Structure 1
Amino acid sequence: MNIPHSVKISFRSIIKNKTQSLISILGLGIGLGCVFLLSLLYIHENSFDSFIPNKENLYRISQGSENTTPYPLGSTIKEEIPLIDNYFRYSQDSDVELKNSKNDLVKDKRFACADTSIYTCLGIRIIQGNASQSEKEICISASTSDKYFDNKNPINEILQIKINNQFLPLTICGVYEDFPQNSRLYPNFIGHLDLMKEFLERRYRYFEDFRRTSEDFEDWNHFINETYLLLNKKADPKNILLQIQAYKNRTINEARKNQDYALQPVTDIYLQSTGLNERIESRTGNSEQLKYLLIISLFILMIAVVNYVFLTKAKIENRLKDFGVQKAMGASTKSILKQVLLESNILSVISLLPASLVVLIGFPFINKTLERTLGLEVFMIWQSWLVLFLVVIVTGTISGIIIGLTITKRSSVDLIKGIKLNSSKKKGWTNSVLSIHFAIFIILVTGILTIKKQLHYAQTSSKNIETENVIICDLNSREISKQHQSISNEIEKIPGVIATAGSSSIPPTNVGSTIGFMYENNEVVFDGLFTGKGMLNLLKVEFIDGQDFNDYRKSNIIINESAAKQYNLKVGESFNGFKIRGIVKDFNSHSFHSQIQPMAILQQKPQNMNLLVIKTNGVNNKEIQKKINSYFKKLSPDVIVNIYTLTDQINQFYKKEQQQVKLITAFSFLAIVLSVMGLFGMVLNTIIQRTKEIGIRKVNGAKTYEVIAMLNKDFLKWVAIAFVIACPIAWYAMHKWLENFAYKTELSWWIFALAGIIAMGIAMLTVSFQSWRAATRNPVESLRYE
């Protein structure tokens, strides 16, 4: 085989059939781009924490569904259990206020407290200075140093950090390199572990009346930090874990005593922590989501490859005589197959151009939609290049073999005569591929409509609670909390404000608090809510019996009807030292993913409440928020008050579903683009084959609309078949998806009908455009066509 000559023939064929080649290249490129993009995402997600030097020996301790542990656990294990090389404890606050070098008050994220051994265990290099040795020192990341010190040396500079309602001057003692993009932990600040006490004191003060554990943060009754163990290479993790179980009994928490410890490999934490309550802001993955994305990308690649095979077969039919002559002149089957394979792989390689565009556009889309960190660093992983190479070569080779074998099976006589590769039966099967294309599209569109319908239902249909026109202000200062009543009085003067109330959690919320009670000598767990007077009335929660809180009394409690029924409780009765003041109708205190549980609502001291809730008339909420913001700036310039709506809070429950809608919408768009391209190519090929027939029909008096109807009929029936195939699959898939919700909408018939109508409309427009061009062509030109 003369390779340069074969390459020249291949390019000549590609240029000669520009339209079909362009469709093939673009279609295959989109399919390859989707597979590349999601394969790179898969590789990136599975690479998390792989940079850690001794990753195979580093473990996080979890207990039951919790990944927080007692403060002394790590140090005790290191001292008492052999073959523990190192350990570190880690705690992190989500937001922190600080004053920058210009003395401006700003808010930053991810302030962590950790043992100095964190740098050694995770392999993070300290660029300047040293790790913090006391609670008066702090290390910052390289990007944080650039952010606040304009590339100047920050060592020994002072940062005023607001912790527990006061600014503490912390000396910068070191700068560490930024944690990699595939690191689960990525703090901007790392302070000494002793600073953790200050952060926890701020957290606990809101619930100080209901704390049952000691004040000593360093005892075994506060589960406040993550604990990581670096085992010796000779250590048996199972044996170490057996020894760790003995420390369960050092706490007075009965629930924790009954939960076993577990060792989780550090490289498993990112993707395999389903069921664990993550208590810090960290990067988290979703292994199930990755599987779904890969399946969708493979579907799109399948559409692209099928399009490519059939379009290439149609293009090669114009060269049957050439192949027949080669065969008659003694060309071997093997040489013809090699020629077809070469041309197929050339097209596959050229398809890398549109595929690269899909990847470049896809990177920021994936990162924004899924909140991921996919970047060019993924190409530093050798598996990425292997996947790219294999996908291109395998796709081109398989496609070439399918096409080549179809040609080489034919005799030279049949090929010279130009007998088409497809019989009428096989042509039917070829067109039936459209059913697969449009069935996938209908399934994706049905998914989009169902998810959107469920999201709308979940965001607007909270049971027995009014969530609209509710503004929330974070009172993240003890001084402001103490002025709760006077602040409420001033805000109620703003036009449009109906009522105000205070609380430390506002339903529906994704932050769960539980309260343990004794019932018939057994501890039972209630869903907990800590609030002030007026909150339930503000949210229009209906009372079955009794009434809302009045002036603060620690002994008052309100329960929901589920608690009343399950434990046979009534208004006025005492329950675990509390007096039941009221019983409210069940309402959704969390997302629609979870069932309503027995609930206990406890009254909180006004000065301890960290949230102010404002009910408005809904006429001009943006203007009201501006006035509230201005008021707080005047009241306390050194405090940043976060202002948002209850609707915003509810929307956060369903971030995962919102991401799914965006992704499925993007893939649906690609699926329909590929389907239209495939349909366009098939229609074009059909019209070429039936050009003379169309001319004869026109000469014999056929109307334009009759020719269009004739050509449309053959293709639209396959779209109708696609609808029949897609409906049961889509129904089953969406039915399973809706099982994730305790409260869900119905799978309406109109969703399936609308998806089918969209698919049929797109197909009709594509076919009709080509059909109209063929039908309005001069019949004389059609009869001359060869």
Structure 2
Amino acid sequence: MNITDIKIAFRNILKNKIESSISILGLGIGLGCIFILGVLIIHEHSYDRFIPDHKNVYRVVEDTDPRTPYPLAPSIQDKIPGIHDFFRFYQTNQVQIKNSGNRVIEEDLFAFADNNFFSLLNTKFKYGKAAVSPTEIAISEDMAKKYFKTQNVLGASLNVKLKDNFLPLTICGVYENFPGNSTLHPEFVGNIELSEQVLGLSQRMFGEYGSTQNDYQNWDNNYFYSYLFLSPGTRPETVSSKIKDLMVSFDAEKYKETEYRLQPATDIYLDSNNLTGNIYSRTGNANELKYYIGIALVILFIAILNYIFLTKAKILSRLTEIGAKKALGASNNIIRKQVLLESNMISALSLMPAAIIIITGIPFINSTLQKTVGEEVFGMWQTWGMLVAVTLLTGTLSGIFIGTNISRTSAVVLLTGKMQRQQKSHKLNHSFLSFHFAIFIILVVSVFTFKKQINYGLTNFKSIDPNNVLVCELNSPELQKQAQVIQNELEQNPNVISTAGSSFIPPFNAFLPIKLRTEEETVRFDGLIMGKGMIPLLGMEIIDGEAFGEFKQDGRTNIIINESTALEYDIKAGDLLNGFTVRGIVKDFNAHSLHSLIQPMVILQQHPEKMRLLAVKTNGKNDKSIIETIDRLVSQISPESVSEVTYLTDQINQFYEREQNQAKLITAFSLLSISLAIMGLFGVVLITISKRTKEIGIRKVNGARVTEVVEMLNKDFLTWVIIAVVIAVPAAWYAMHRWLENFAYQTSLSWWLFAIAGVLALAIALLTVSFQSYKAATRNPVDSLRYE
């Protein structure tokens, strides 16, 4: 290879500008997609590998819950050899913080940890150090900028509401932001002892039924993650068995059935979906990564095929040139090298559109899939290794495939300007075309099915009406005690239909287990805690008995049950259920998303001064004035509280956030897929027309009209697209049928979903082919007869 070969390669690329541009663009799309998904896969597997000696870092898991008692980690270090160090971690949300303008802001990433937390995770401080007392707080550099507009804020005070009142905490350190591939990523970290201010205080959540116990050091309270740093050579299985022995020695009966294991820190992100208490750390999905890998390989495969088709079309116009080279003594190896060089140059040039795909695609992936792919992934050798390897592999494989085919052809055949037509090759080209469009049809059907099911989930709740319901959080004792005052004033507004308080307002995403205990048995139900008036406000139907009336503290607990509970236990209103009086029976309703079946349910009545939420049913005509009234009342009653007013339907939208994001991602892949399909079709059309140029000229000389020629060329291609429809419809039906099994209540797979996808594929193919067919049909027949 020399400079002359490179010049010839550039000349050939520039000579066929349209084909070369399409080749570069198509290959760039394919490379860009596989780079994005490859970077995502590398990122997903890189979590917590920045921790020094990460192979010896483990998290304690108790049965299926990583939350453990406060004394566990130090007891393990004291009693079990081989533990180099440890830290404990707890995180809470909805913490209110005052900024410099005395405005209250809610933050979710507020954590508490031992003061060696940062050093063990290798997190550097820009200023100061970790909190060593309950009066101190360390904050991230982003939070320093957010609250103080600068980073050097040592000694400044941050007013934080952890309990009922704002507590001034002294900023003792500003640490660097945690990397995007860290499972733990708090923005505020207080001393572990400060957690006493928030742990165990469930009264605000459960009101009358909440616990006031706040002994965070009690062995019975599992709140904290316990991370262990094992000494080199220590086996985690040995430590796990010794933890079991340690706990049994404390309480043989309670802990003899409990299992303990050490989860590697590097497995936490992708291997925690089966854990019930993994609520403080980021998590991924290992199964989804398999789909990403599959998608990446399919897109790259399609892009390479498109490139091969287009290159074959260009090669057909250079047969005489290549034949002359062979006749003048060029060996098969030289021909292969020339084609290989051009192929790799095209692959290298395709990095320009690939870069655009990467720059725009990574933020899209982060936003749609809630990922945190950042700059740090481009500092990994795996990323650049993948970039170089995929680019070289793509160009080399394509070049070898095309070059080998050309180099084996004799010089005599090449000098005639044509190659032998092979029916097998013709069918192969068109079968790949069918594959292109089948993928597109499956993706389009998937998008329509996703959107149809999401819409079904948002609008088909059984026996409950969540529309035009405003929800206000009563996030202070003052607001809870004055809930009735707020209700009375709101009901003066002519646009307010009714108001009611509650601890939970359905439909909500979480499950609240309620256990009804007697001396003989304990029965667990799906539960709700609601106040007077909430059942009629939500349009729920009482089919026996009556809804809650005035709350009475007379030692008797009245409950309301749903139809499923009544049928399972053969109970009617007025009967006892495990010692509790059934006040009424409500018609079965969807208390959660449509992913889950309606379960036997028990509804408890909340104390009117201990409501966590206030619901306002409106007529939908002037909700703005109602929200303004709520804001005014909150500021009057509890000036230091944040007024949080949302629509209940917004809460329901969050049920299907994952599916909505999947629909966005598949839509993007559908657009890329059809772009690649069009490019592949363009290449096949060029090959076909180049082979039939003389035939078209003869037909025109014999009187064939342009429409007849266009129809002749289109018919063959549309047949293969119809084959793609036939292949794609059952595949799409099967895939979507399996996906809909994730929902207990699901929409139907309507015929029009498949019809629209098929018509779109046919229309796109028809437009693409007709454009090239028309150009060939309107060509001067004299030029066509001279073509060969």
The CA RMSD measured in Å over matched residues stands at: 2.3
Q: Aligned equivalents of 2:253 and 2:222: distance in 1?
A: 13
Q: Please list the CA deviations of residues 23-79 of structure 1 after superposition, one character each: whole Å capped at 9, or x if unmatched.
A: 111111100110001000110111111101121121112223322222222222222
Q: Which amino acid aligns with 2:260?
A: Y
Q: Aligned equivalents of 2:541 and 2:230: distance in 1?
A: 56
Q: Which residue of 1 aligns with 2:623?
A: 621
Q: Which residue of 1 aligns with 2:220?
A: 221
Q: Which region of structure 1 is more displaced relative to structure 2, 663-672 or 59-68?
A: 59-68
Q: Please list the CA deviations of residues 345-369 of structure 1 after superposition, one character each: whole Å capped at 9, or x if unmatched.
A: 1111111111111101101111111
Q: Which amino acid aligns with 1:579?
A: T
Q: Which region of structure 1 is more displaced relative to structure 2, 718-727 or 599-608?
A: 599-608
Contact 2:207 2:611 in 1 (8 A): no
Structure 2 stretches of 5 or more lacking a match?
none
Q: Which residue of 1 aligns with 2:751?
A: 749
Q: Which region of structure 1 is more displaced relative to structure 2, 534-543 or 255-264?
A: 255-264
Q: Which residue of 1 aligns with 2:708?
A: 706
Q: Aligned equivalents of 1:670 and 1:491: distance in 2?
A: 52
Instruction: Name the CA shift for 1:105/1:122 in 2 (closer, same or farther; >3 Å).
Output: same
Instruction: Name the CA shift for 1:152/1:667 in 2 (closer, same or farther; >3 Å).
Output: closer
Percent of residue pairs bearing the same amino acid type: 52
Instruction: Name the CA shift for 1:520/1:105 in 2 (closer, same or farther; >3 Å).
Output: closer
Q: Which region of structure 1 is more displaced relative to structure 2, 332-341 or 182-191?
A: 332-341
Q: Aligned equivalents of 1:542 and 1:56: distance in 2?
A: 57
Q: Which residue of 1 aligns with 2:357?
A: 358
Matches within 5 A, 1:329-340: 329-340=328-339
Q: Which residue of 1 aligns with 2:108?
A: 109
Contact 1:134 1:192 in 2 (8 A): yes
2:109 counterpart SS class: strand
What TM-score, normalized to structure 2?
0.95
Q: Which residue of 1 aligns with 2:174?
A: 175
Contact 1:156 1:172 in 2 (8 A): yes
How far does residue 251 in structure 1 lie from its aligned partner after superposition?
A: 9.6
Contact 2:466 2:649 in 1 (8 A): yes
Q: Aligned equivalents of 2:362 and 2:522: distance in 1?
A: 50
Q: Which residue of 2 aligns with 1:260?
A: 259
Q: Which residue of 2 aligns with 1:47?
A: 46
Q: Which amino acid aligns with 1:382?
A: W
Q: Which amino acid aligns with 1:306?
A: L
Q: Aligned equivalents of 1:345 and 1:211: distance in 2?
A: 68
Q: Which residue of 2 aligns with 1:726?
A: 728
1:606 counterpart SS class: coil
Q: Which residue of 2 aligns with 1:480?
A: 479
Q: Aligned equivalents of 1:118 and 1:758: distance in 2?
A: 56
2:198 counterpart SS class: helix
What TM-score, normalized to structure 1?
0.95
2:494 counterpart SS class: coil
Instruction: Name the CA shift for 1:681/1:221 in 2 (closer, same or farther; >3 Å).
Output: same
Contact 1:179 1:186 in 2 (8 A): yes
How far does residue 619 in structure 1 lie from its aligned partner after superposition?
A: 3.0
Q: Aligned equivalents of 2:108 and 2:213: distance in 1?
A: 29
Q: Aligned equivalents of 1:429 and 1:152: distance in 2?
A: 63
Q: Which residue of 1 aligns with 2:377?
A: 378
Q: Aligned equivalents of 2:410 and 2:306: distance in 1?
A: 26
How far does residue 245 in structure 1 lie from its aligned partner after superposition?
A: 2.2
Q: Which residue of 2 aligns with 1:462?
A: 461
How far does residue 593 in structure 1 lie from its aligned partner after superposition?
A: 1.7
Contact 2:596 2:743 in 1 (8 A): yes
Q: Which residue of 2 aligns with 1:387?
A: 386
Q: Which residue of 2 aligns with 1:528?
A: 527
Contact 2:201 2:211 in 1 (8 A): no
Choose the corresponding residue for 1:564, options 558, 566, 570: 566
Q: Which residue of 2 aligns with 1:17?
A: 16
Matches within 5 A, 1:261-410: 261-278=260-277, 280-410=279-409
Instruction: Name the CA shift for 1:250/1:474 in 2 (closer, same or farther; >3 Å).
Output: farther
Contact 2:560 2:603 in 1 (8 A): yes
Q: Aligned equivalents of 1:496 and 1:244: distance in 2?
A: 61
Q: Aligned equivalents of 1:517 and 1:378: distance in 2?
A: 51
Q: Which region of structure 1 is more displaced relative to structure 2, 703-712 or 485-494?
A: 703-712
How far does residue 592 in structure 1 lie from its aligned partner after superposition?
A: 1.6
How far does residue 511 in structure 1 lie from its aligned partner after superposition?
A: 2.1
Q: Which amino acid aligns with 1:639?
A: S
Q: Which amino acid aligns with 2:119?
A: T
Contact 1:220 1:250 in 2 (8 A): no
Q: Which residue of 2 aligns with 1:129?
A: 128
Contact 1:23 1:681 in 2 (8 A): no
Q: Which amino acid aligns with 1:315?
A: K
How far does residue 697 in structure 1 lie from its aligned partner after superposition?
A: 3.0
Q: Which residue of 2 aligns with 1:414?
A: 413
Aligned residues: 785
Q: Aligned equivalents of 1:628 and 1:319: distance in 2?
A: 77
Matches within 5 A, 1:167-246: 167-207=166-206, 209-211=208-210, 215-246=214-245
Q: Please list the CA deviations of residues 135-185 of structure 1 after superposition, one character each: whole Å capped at 9, or x if unmatched.
A: 111111122122222225311111111121211011111222211121111
Q: Aligned equivalents of 1:520 and 1:771: distance in 2?
A: 84
Contact 1:309 1:399 in 2 (8 A): yes
Contact 1:432 1:718 in 2 (8 A): yes
Q: Aligned equivalents of 1:524 and 1:232: distance in 2?
A: 46
Q: Which amino acid aligns with 2:177?
A: D
1:654 counterpart SS class: helix
Q: Aligned equivalents of 1:537 and 1:738: distance in 2?
A: 32
Contact 1:98 1:108 in 2 (8 A): yes
Q: Aligned equivalents of 2:65 and 2:121: distance in 1?
A: 22
Instruction: Name the CA shift for 1:699/1:621 in 2 (closer, same or farther; >3 Å).
Output: farther
Check if 1:65 corresponds to 2:64.
yes
Contact 2:498 2:618 in 1 (8 A): yes
Q: Which amino acid aligns with 1:119?
A: F
Q: Aligned equivalents of 2:566 and 2:146: distance in 1?
A: 55
Q: Aligned equivalents of 1:688 and 1:202: distance in 2?
A: 78
Contact 1:527 1:598 in 2 (8 A): yes
How far does residue 482 in structure 1 lie from its aligned partner after superposition?
A: 0.7
Instruction: Name the CA shift for 1:739/1:209 in 2 (closer, same or farther; >3 Å).
Output: same
Q: Aligned equivalents of 2:783 and 2:330: distance in 1?
A: 37
Q: Which amino acid aligns with 1:636?
A: S
Contact 2:201 2:212 in 1 (8 A): no
Contact 2:69 2:224 in 1 (8 A): yes
Q: Aligned equivalents of 1:421 and 1:167: distance in 2?
A: 85
Contact 2:19 2:314 in 1 (8 A): yes
Q: Please list the CA deviations of residues 682-739 of structure 1 after superposition, one character each: whole Å capped at 9, or x if unmatched.
A: 2234334434433443343333322221121111111000001111211121122112
Contact 2:196 2:214 in 1 (8 A): no
Q: Which amino acid aligns with 1:638?
A: E
Contact 1:94 1:111 in 2 (8 A): yes
Q: Please list the CA deviations of residues 742-761 of structure 1 after superposition, one character each: whole Å capped at 9, or x if unmatched.
A: 22122222111111111111
Matches within 5 A, 1:676-691: 676-691=678-693
Q: Which region of structure 1 is more displaced relative to structure 2, 732-741 or 320-329?
A: 320-329
Q: Which region of structure 1 is more displaced relative to structure 2, 135-144 or 254-263?
A: 254-263
Contact 1:518 1:576 in 2 (8 A): yes
Q: Which amino acid aligns with 2:721?
A: V
Contact 2:207 2:503 in 1 (8 A): no
Instruction: Name the CA shift for 1:630/1:208 in 2 (closer, same or farther; >3 Å).
Output: closer
Instruction: Name the CA shift for 1:65/1:532 in 2 (closer, same or farther; >3 Å).
Output: farther
Q: Aligned equivalents of 1:576 and 1:250: distance in 2?
A: 35
How far does residue 414 in structure 1 lie from its aligned partner after superposition?
A: 1.5
Contact 1:94 1:280 in 2 (8 A): no
1:590 counterpart SS class: coil
Contact 1:465 1:587 in 2 (8 A): yes
Contact 1:33 1:358 in 2 (8 A): yes
Q: Aligned equivalents of 1:154 and 1:607: distance in 2?
A: 40
How far does residue 256 in structure 1 lie from its aligned partner after superposition?
A: 8.1
Q: Which region of structure 1 is more displaced relative to structure 2, 325-334 or 202-211?
A: 202-211
Q: Which amino acid aligns with 1:83?
A: G
Q: Which residue of 1 aligns with 2:503?
A: 504
Q: Aligned equivalents of 2:313 and 2:421: distance in 1?
A: 9
Q: Aligned equivalents of 1:546 and 1:96: distance in 2?
A: 41
How far does residue 8 in structure 1 lie from its aligned partner after superposition?
A: 1.4
Q: Which residue of 2 aligns with 1:647?
A: 649
Contact 1:52 1:122 in 2 (8 A): yes
2:318 counterpart SS class: helix
